[in-house]
Amino acid sequence: MTDDGVHRLALLRDMLLVRRFEECCAEQYASRKIRGFLHLGIGEEATAVGSVRALAADDDVVATYREHGHALARGIPPATLLAEMFGKASGCARGRGGSMHLCDVSRRFWGGFAIVGGGVPIAVGLALAERMQRGRRLVAVFFGDGAMDEGELHESLNLAALWKLPVLFLCENNQYAMGTALARHASNPRLVEKPPTYGIPATRVDGMDVLEVERAVREAADVVRGGSGPRFLELSTYRFRAHSMYDADRYRDPEEIAQWKRRDPIELLAERLTEDGLLAPAARAAMEGELSALLAAAVAEADAAPLEPTSDLARDLYARTPR
């Protein structure tokens, strides 16, 4: 098998891991092991996997509250993420952040921001620090179409362009800001036309095609690293499930959902691999079995993990000042 074939199979496995992990999260939420808010990105696997795969290991990644896929693609183990959502001390934020605030400093994965667009100015700050230290890494920041209405995003675009900061803006346009369709919350629903007004080149990408996402992100990242300033990609995608586990999802036409499901990013890639003779039914079944065992072990590990001791509850609330 060629290196390209191996790579495409790895992308399929990564997307399947994200899908099965989130389905597992829904089950754990129903059993009340996960509490609070839970936002699933089922249907959006290609944007997370394709983008993160195209980045360097030392690049900074800033995500939204729908960040399970990004965290998994960045290499955070499923057991660590589940422990975080179970509120356990072995979680990536010691159980304090939960689903909406996943973070792993060792992997330069900065989370997990619950406020719409809240991570964007943080990303610009990280990029400014990188520029001042004359580094070569870039900052990739994810946000949804709803964030395009936020003032802080436009302030961030302006400063990033003005200072030619190494930021890659990645808009995961899933067509809805919570329950509001794009055409009902944006006076100009062609989001890709907005960044150029700040002098930032922008491109619209098929967010259901993981290979296209990976290619576009890699090309844009190379340009940003070259010192040409920020770039903006609009990744057109769709979430198959409701905004959150609390959402009754009464604002979408079932036929619209069915139409998008016919472009399921996992099945699109699987079909290509099958046509190219790289994926037999037995191999797909083996992959599914391996992931099922992995997630079962992750749930058991998270279940068995300890809670943070009460003696540590005040830890990190205050900074220590030098005497």
Domain count, the chain: 1
- Output the pLDDT for position 21: 98
Is residue 241 in a domain? yes
Q: What is the pLDDT of residue 317?
A: 82
Query: Residue 316 has what pLDDT?
Result: 80
Answer yes or no: is 310 within a domain. Answer: no
Whole-model pTM: value is 0.95
Asked if residues 147 and 117 have their Cβ atoms less than 8 Å apart, the reply is yes
Q: How far apart are CA 92 and CA 82, in angstroms?
A: 9
Does an H or E element contain 167, and which? Answer: strand 167-173
Reduced 3-state DSSP string for 278-322: CCCHHHHHHHHHHHHHHHHHHHHHHHHCCCCCHHHCCCCCCCCCC
- Is the torsion defined by CA of 101, 247, 251, 260 positive or negative? positive
The pLDDT, as a whole number, for residue 323 is 65
Determine the pLDDT at residue 8. 97
Residue 321 maps to a domain:
no
Q: Please report whether residue 237 resides in a domain.
A: yes
In a domain, 316, yes or no: no
| Residue 318 domain flag | no
How far is residue 288's CA from residue 291's CA, in Å, rounded to a whole number? 5
Do the domain assignments include residue 242?
yes
Range of the domain at 165: 3-305
**pLDDT at residue 177 in the model:** 94
Rounded to whole angstroms, how far apart are CA atoms 108 and 120?
15
- Is 314 inside a domain boundary? no
Instruction: Look up the CATH number of the domain holding residue 159.
Output: 3.40.50.970
Each residue's pLDDT, cut to its tens digit, for the chain (323 residues) gives 788 999 999 999 999 999 999 999 999 999 999 999 999 999 999 999 999 999 999 999 999 999 999 999 999 999 999 999 999 999 999 999 999 999 999 999 998 899 999 999 999 999 999 999 988 899 999 999 999 999 999 999 999 999 999 999 999 999 999 999 999 999 999 999 999 999 999 999 999 999 999 999 999 999 999 999 999 999 999 999 999 998 999 999 999 999 999 999 999 999 999 999 999 999 999 999 999 999 999 999 999 999 988 888 888 888 777 76
